[in-house]
Structure 1
Amino acid sequence: MGSEAGIARKPRFLGLHGFRTSGAILKKQIETKWPKSVLDKIDIVYPDAPFPAQGKSDVEGIFDPPYYEWFQFNKEFTTYTNFDEGLAYIEDILIRQGPFDGLLGFSQGAILSGGLPGLQGKGVALTKASKIKYLIIIGGAKFRNESVAEKAYSPPIQCPSVHFLGDNDFLKPYGLELLESCVDPVVIQHPKGHTIPRFDEKGLEMMLSFLERIQEDILSEDEGKGENVLEA
């Protein structure tokens, strides 16, 4: 018993890939860019989004198909199609393959990840899934649909989050807007564009410290559960 007491399970994250890519592509991007010191401290599950790509993918010729999307939108990103269906699909994965501690998202997956805790808190999405406690946001932004945004970011996002902001990412201004709606963000800057970045020394320290913090939370939760069992 004593030997197990100090060992917490790894944090588990649901990885939501970018628009017209796939779970396999996100997995490859992360596992080729992130060092073992990070990958050893986190479990990530990489599902495909529910809808086959309805147009050309930006990663054609770089990564093999098939490609998927979580929902569709108009040119201004203000009108969404299949949005509720996409959320129901994510909820189903969270329930069937959970429990998960948090969400990791890139691009369209990061926009979803940043908005889901608020939608869950308001009782409009993921109502049957366990609470999202942590976020890893890579190349994120806010929802631009007004009725969705109103529910997603008010009150601000309470759960601890880490945000990767690329100096040359076309979404950077929108990633900064998302930061303003977060109570407890860690920001990792990188010089690249809209991509999964490698870590520099400072970014790596910040990421490892974020994961250690989650690990400590899990450990104290598990110990609390153990005490409750003993009391019962």
Structure 2
Amino acid sequence: MVKRTGSNLISSMKKSKILCLHGTHSSAAILKEGLEVWPSNVLDRMDLVFIDAPFRVEDEDFPAFTWFNAQDVTKMNIMFNESIAYIEETMVKLGPFDGVLGMSMGACVAAALPGMQAQGVALTKVEDLKFVMVMSGSKLECIGGEAPKLAENAFSSIIQIPSLHCFGENDFTKLNAIELLDSFLDPFVIFHSGGHEIPKLDEKGLKVMNSFLDKVQASFAAPKAIRSLM
């Protein structure tokens, strides 16, 4: 019988299946291209599934989509509810998923999903999320001044699952992204020198990323009784 070391055990585990949510006035294709700045030995650890938001943005000269419109409260709530339903339908159809990754507005949605699921107002037809990855994200109320009604209590309790937060020194969401950290237990943070973007991973960022993925994937292999204590 071959004895596996810790690193071999991690590498032999299944990839984390992750639903990826793009930002506003963006698309699945744009987010997919943006994540290609990460090295292959990171991307190879994840099974990334990209989807377009359900609402087409008409004033762009390229295919662009959004999750909701924050300028009108009534419209915001209707669109947000439809987007959450669409995300859940996708997870049922293409899942099961282990976690969610979001960029910008998609990151704001992703960050709110675990709390919404815990409260039973979203993702009730799928397995509990095991982690979230938040790229230049914040709380939803930072977008339009108030959170959609469905997500108004998303952060009423500390989110216990592992989370990775990535934002830049020149990111216009930096202060809001820092504030969001307080809503998660022991968040992993990649703070880079750039702006509102998916950054290349320097040595420090790569270390944080791999530590996060190690923790996530190790939890998959843990027996349920042990996992509940992690």
Q: Give the TM-score category using the shorter length.
A: 0.7 to 0.9
Matches for 1:80-91 after TM superposition, within 5 Å: 80-91=77-88
Query: Which residue does the alignment assign to 2:26?
Result: 21
Give the Cα separation in 2 of the matches to 1:175 and 1:193. Answer: 12
Give the Cα separation in 2 of the matches to 1:173 and 1:109. Answer: 18
1:219 Cα deviation from its structure 2 partner: 2.2
Query: Which residue does the alignment assign to 2:49?
Result: 45
- Does residue 97 of structure 2 align to residue 100 of structure 1? yes
- Does residue 132 of structure 2 align to residue 135 of structure 1? yes
| Runs of 4+ off more than 6 Å | 1-5
- Does residue 36 of structure 2 align to residue 36 of structure 1? no
Give the Cα separation in 2 of the matches to 1:95 and 1:204. Answer: 32
Distance 1:139 1:75, change over 3 A: farther
1:51 Cα deviation from its structure 2 partner: 0.8
Matches for 1:61-72 after TM superposition, within 5 Å: 65-72=62-69
3-state SS of 1:114 partner = helix
Give the Cα separation in 2 of the matches to 1:86 and 1:54. Answer: 17
Residue of 122, 128, 135 corresponding to 2:119? 122
Which digits, 9 at most, give the CA deviation of each residue in 1:125-156, with x for residues without a partner? 11112111101110001011244453100112
Give the Cα separation in 2 of the matches to 1:24 and 1:175. Answer: 24
Give the Cα separation in 1 of the matches to 2:120 and 2:193. Answer: 38
Give the Cα separation in 1 of the matches to 2:78 and 2:153. Answer: 18
Normalising by structure 1, we get a TM-score of 0.85
Q: How many residues align?
A: 215
Query: Which residue does the alignment assign to 1:194?
Result: 196
Normalising by structure 2, we get a TM-score of 0.86
Question: What is the alpha-carbon root mean square deviation over aligned residues?
Answer: 2.5
% same residue: 43
Query: Which residue does the alignment assign to 1:9?
Result: 14
Are 1:95 and 1:130, in contact at CA under 8 Å, matched by a contact in 2?
no
- Gaps spanning 5+ residues in structure 2: where? none
Give the Cα separation in 1 of the matches to 2:99 and 2:192. Answer: 23
